[in-house]
Amino acid sequence: MLLGTDVTQVEAWRKLQEKLTAASVTDRSALLHRRANDTRSDVVRMIDHAGQGHIGGDFSVTDILTVLFNGVLRIDPNDPQKAGRDRFVLSKGHCAAALYATLASCGYFSPDELLTFMGPLSALNGHPNRNKVPGVETNTGPLGHGLPVAVGQALAAKLAGNGARVFAVMGDGEMQEGSNWEALMTGAHYGLDNLTAVVDRNRLQQGARTEDTSSLDPLDEKLLAFGWELRIIDGHDYEQLAAAFKPSSTGKPVAVIANTTKGKGVSFIEDRVEWHHKVPSTEQVVLALEELA
Amino acid sequence: MSTTTTTPGLYDNRTAFADELIQLARTDDRIVAVCNDSVGSSNLVAFRDEFPDRLINVGIAEQNMVGVGAGLASAGYIPFVCAAGPFLTGRSLEQVKADVAYSQHPVILCGMSPGMAYGELGPTHHSVEDFSWLRALPGLDIVVPADRLQTRQAVQQAVASPRPMYIRVGRHKVPDVSPAGSVLERGHFQTLREGTDVTLIGTGTLVSRAVEAAELLAADGLSVRVLNAAYIAPLDVASIVAAAEETGAIITAEEGNVAGGLGAAVASVVSQLGRDARVPVRILGLTEFAPTGSTDFLLDHFGLTPAHLAAAARDARTNG
């Protein structure tokens, strides 16, 4: 493991957790929105510095990550390998920058590391590596890998009877990978009600809209037909996200279709296919940081 | 010269595999098995009957199967992921790369009925590319037990190892070749016969054939070293260098394609030695998709017999 815990940052994260617990619904959403946009600002700076990255998908998944790591996942950034912890798998590994900024905000490692993103010998590779970055549970990058691993982790929690929950986030384009549908069958067959699969449904993939490439719809009917409890939400609404991440109510694994906007948070990046992995210019960086401030 | 204990008879290594797995699972509840509808062909019926909750059958879905194994390993279990070799390594190669080798989740990948064990079923069902594919993945041990004893020891080592491992679990029946009391050592070839004129390196089904070839050559008055390459990765470079320095030629034999397999690994070491240490190498294995035939027929067809090994040794010594 190349990176270690940032104790000061963990303390800051803990204080935020206390605030969130005590806050009203409105205040909680405001706090999470601030946290999410700080993460987006980190991502802008990382991608600006590295000269590469996947800003569109980073921004669509940021609110999902923010809610998971602030009140949902039972984790301890001071003890990343703690037995019986909840697990998170970012199957859409190309959005590593958003994950790194989120993990750093929890204190898994120092936020000072973020600007090493994709630099020579950095722990922060373009796709996450569990042996280098604390908080990463499995190496991802090739699509369609995260959900089967999450199924295995959920099976392990069932066998151990430790009550651990497992969350995996897939891009919607990624649902074109057959391995996801194999894993969906296994999750339903074994009644993995401790498993939540989130689809970041921003409707864009690298080259075009999903529905113009290889149609996913009716995605809801497909997930239901595969035997999962389905929740369809606005993936940028913090209260809806928190509700969607509550445990299964049916004994089935939970699928969440989080309807999102690719590039969410910066007007000129939102919902534009070219921003899959476009890098903002110097002027655009300034504008983006202003919008996110 | 070490003594080789040969028990009369031929054995399917899957039986030793299943017996050892069940024995260890009785005292270690971290051990689970994952398979792709191959409960029968992976010889897991008895395991399922004794540990029904610890046999996870994901159905005919090999990519998912390897990912599920990685998830189980990441959460502290010791998963033996069992499937016919070609589907385990071919269909799931990217999962083996990313989820197992690169992630370093300590999964035990069990390539059942490898090589040309499925004879007449043809090349789709032969696992003869596994060495080539998996040798390119850093951090993945590749183990090829030659007989029942080594199969049991491989299972024991897999449970104790913190690293991922691929084991070829043979179906084609083979005789016992390991000396009594011998121990399978990670990253080491096992010396079955000492010699100074030529070295025969076999793996899996080819080990007993190399021993027989040595007898043929000994009848010609040659002093033959026989090495059992039970570990292909990590590679026993020291034994290869010693064979080059101490014997006049090296013959390798494997039930696999010659492109990137055991022989290629040995040749790579030898070719990088100094001029005085280099020796002739002959690589026996498959060079094309197999025609129709039984396993024994195909082993003969591709020249993987004691007579062919002996002929290759004579040729290397005569022609360099």
pLDDT, tens only, B81-114: 999 999 999 999 999 999 999 999 999 999 999 9
Whether A165 contacts chain B with CB within 8 A: no
Q: State how far the Cα of B71 lies from the Cα of A146, in Å rounded to an integer.
A: 9
Residue B160 lies in a domain: yes
Q: State how far the Cα of A31 lies from the Cα of A34, in Å rounded to an integer.
A: 5
B165 lies in the same domain as B28: yes
Residues of A in contact with B54 (CB under 8 A): 159
**Span A263-292, average pLDDT:** 97
B159 lies in the same domain as B53: yes
B268 lies in the same domain as B301: yes
B9: left (phi over 0), alpha (psi -120 to 50) or beta: left
Residue at a domain's end among B122, B139, B169: B169
B165: left (phi over 0), alpha (psi -120 to 50) or beta: beta
Alpha-carbon distance A132 to nearest alpha carbon in chain B (angstroms)? 10
At B4 the pLDDT is 47
Residue B136 lies in a domain: yes
Instruction: Give the closest residue to B203 by CA, choosing from B156, B297, B135.
Output: B135
pLDDT, tens only, B210-248: 999 999 999 999 999 999 999 999 999 999 999 999 999
Phi–psi pair at B285, nearest 5 degrees: 175, -160
Residue B183 lies in a domain: no
Residue B212 lies in a domain: yes
Whether A155 contacts chain B with CB within 8 A: yes
B 90-149 → A contacts, CB under 8 A: 94-95, 98-99, 102-105
B84 lies in the same domain as B196: no
pLDDT, tens only, B31-65: 999 999 999 999 999 999 999 999 999 999 999 99
For an interface test with A, the pick among B68, B78, B96, B104 (most A C-beta atoms closer than 10 Å) comes out as B68
Residues of B in contact with A147 (CB under 8 A): 67
Residue B185 lies in a domain: no
CATH number of the domain where residue B76 is located: 3.40.50.970
CATH number of the domain where residue B266 is located: 3.40.50.920
Q: State how far the Cα of B228 lies from the Cα of B204, in Å rounded to an integer.
A: 8
Alpha-carbon distance B35 to nearest alpha carbon in chain A (angstroms)? 12
Which residue is associated with the tokens 């109510």? A249
- The boundaries of the domain holding residue B241 are 190-319
A 79-98 → B contacts, CB under 8 A: 83, 87
| pLDDT at B3 > cutoff 50 | no
Which helix (H) or strand (E) covers residue B231, if one does? strand B231-233
**Span B171-192, average pLDDT:** 97
Q: State how far the Cα of A275 lies from the Cα of A291, in Å rounded to an integer.
A: 17
The number of helices, as runs of H, and strands, as runs of E, in chain B is 12, 12
Residue B1 lies in a domain: no
Whether B164 contacts chain A with CB within 8 A: no
| pLDDT at B267 > cutoff 90 | yes
Residues of B in contact with A87 (CB under 8 A): 74-75
| pLDDT at B1 > cutoff 90 | no
CB contact under 8 A, A178 and B68: no
Other CB atoms closer than 10 Å to residue A85's CB: what's the count? 19
Residue at a domain's end among B137, B169, B201: B169
Confidence of residue B2 (pLDDT cuts 50, 70, 90): very low
| pLDDT at A56 > cutoff 70 | yes
CB contact under 8 A, A148 and B71: yes
B20 lies in the same domain as B49: yes
Number of domain units in chain B: 2
> Domains in chain A, ordered, with CATH?
7-292 (3.40.50.970)
Residues of B in contact with A138 (CB under 8 A): 70-71, 74, 99, 103, 105
CA-only gyration radius of chain B, Å: 19
- For B96, name the nearest residue in chain A, comparing CA atoms only: A145
The runs of H, that is alpha helices, within B13-128 are: 13-25, 45-50, 62-74, 85-86, 93-95
pLDDT, tens only, B119-151: 999 999 999 999 999 999 999 999 999 999 999
| pLDDT at B263 > cutoff 60 | yes
DSSP B74: H
- Smallest Cβ–Cβ distance between A137 and the set B72, B74, B104 belongs to B74
Burial pattern B221-254, b for ≥16 Cβ within 10 A else e, equals ebbbbbbbbbbbbebbeebbebbbeebbbbbbbb
Q: State how far the Cα of B91 lies from the Cα of B62, in Å rounded to an integer.
A: 7
Q: State how far the Cα of A277 lies from the Cα of A293, in Å rounded to an integer.
A: 22
B32 lies in the same domain as B125: yes
B42 lies in the same domain as B137: yes
**Span A161-165, average pLDDT:** 98
B153 lies in the same domain as B23: yes
Please report, as a single letter, which amino acid is at residue A239.
Answer: E
Other CB atoms closer than 10 Å to residue B20's CB: what's the count? 19
Q: State how far the Cα of A155 lies from the Cα of A191, in Å rounded to an integer.
A: 9
Residue B263 lies in a domain: yes
Give every CB contact of residue B294 below 8 A, 6+ residues apart in sequence: B119, B120
User: Which three-class secondary structure state does DSSP give residue B126?
Assistant: coil
pLDDT, tens only, A82-120: 999 999 999 999 999 999 999 999 999 999 999 999 999
Which residue is associated with the tokens 């990137």? B260
CA-only gyration radius of chain A, Å: 18
Burial class of A251 by CB neighbour count within 10 A (0 to 12, 13 to 18, 19+): exposed
At A1 the pLDDT is 65
CB contact under 8 A, B68 and A129: no
Phi–psi pair at A290, nearest 5 degrees: -65, -45
B136 lies in the same domain as B216: no
Whether A125 contacts chain B with CB within 8 A: no
Whether A139 contacts chain B with CB within 8 A: yes
| pLDDT at B8 > cutoff 80 | no
Whether the Cβ atoms of residue A264 and residue A258 lie closer than 8 Å to each other: no
B59 lies in the same domain as B97: yes
Q: Which two tokens stand for residue B165?
A: 């491992």
Alpha-carbon distance A192 to nearest alpha carbon in chain B (angstroms)? 13
At B7 the pLDDT is 47
User: What is the percent of chain A where pLDDT is above 90?
Assistant: 99
